[in-house]
Structure 1
């Protein structure tokens, strides 16, 4: 039985690939400073990548601000989009008149079912 068992290595223990002949991309260190706890976080990004203006602080979870040449980058809060609600997305697809018409159709359907004695809530309540 012992001669039939498979041998191998633990998953994630070591890589089977070597770094021989691999050319790494140019990288740069980017520093973020948390205004809450004054903690610096240094991350590596590709040299041609645009780093985000904020990063979550690893110590306290607040928003750390990108540092360029020792100075914090000023954020453009005006460029941030307001969160779209379900109602906003609904109004993008239909006019208010269409929505009111759909509502009336649905209410008429529900009222007709209740009038016919097909009220599903009564069955669940046991009335």
Structure 2
């Protein structure tokens, strides 16, 4: 019976693959400096990849800029649009007087419905 038992290794203990014959892709390291906490982060990218201008700081979550030499890259935020809120989108469709008129109609409808419900309860 002992010659028929299965043998194996623990799950996750070690890999059966080796790095023999594996050719790694060329890599470069780029540094990013946070504008908020001044922490420097070094990241590794493929040599042929263009590194992003900004990276999220691991320490504070702020915006870290790419360091080239002794200076950091200047980021142009002028072309970024401000986030539109629901109120902004509503004002694109309706004017303030139209919104006030709709509000009054809805309030009158709700008041009428509540009033009808109270009289129905009293008569029952």
Larger Cα-atom Rg = 2
Cα RMSD (Å)? 3.5
Over 6 Å off, 4+ runs = none
Rounded to whole Å, the distance in 1 between the matches of 2:80 and 2:15 is 42
Equivalent residues in 2 for 1:1-127, closer than 5 Å: 8-10=10-12, 14-15=14-15, 18-19=18-19, 24-91=24-91, 95-97=93-95, 100=99, 102-117=102-117
Gap runs ≥5 in structure 2:
119-124
Rounded to whole Å, the distance in 2 between the matches of 1:75 and 1:108 is 52
TM-score by length of 1: 0.58
Q: How many Å apart are 1:19 and its aligned residue?
A: 4.8
Residue-pair matches, total: 109
Rounded to whole Å, the distance in 2 between the matches of 1:91 and 1:47 is 48
Gap runs ≥5 in structure 1:
119-127
TM-score by length of 2: 0.59
Q: How many Å apart are 1:60 and its aligned residue?
A: 4.7
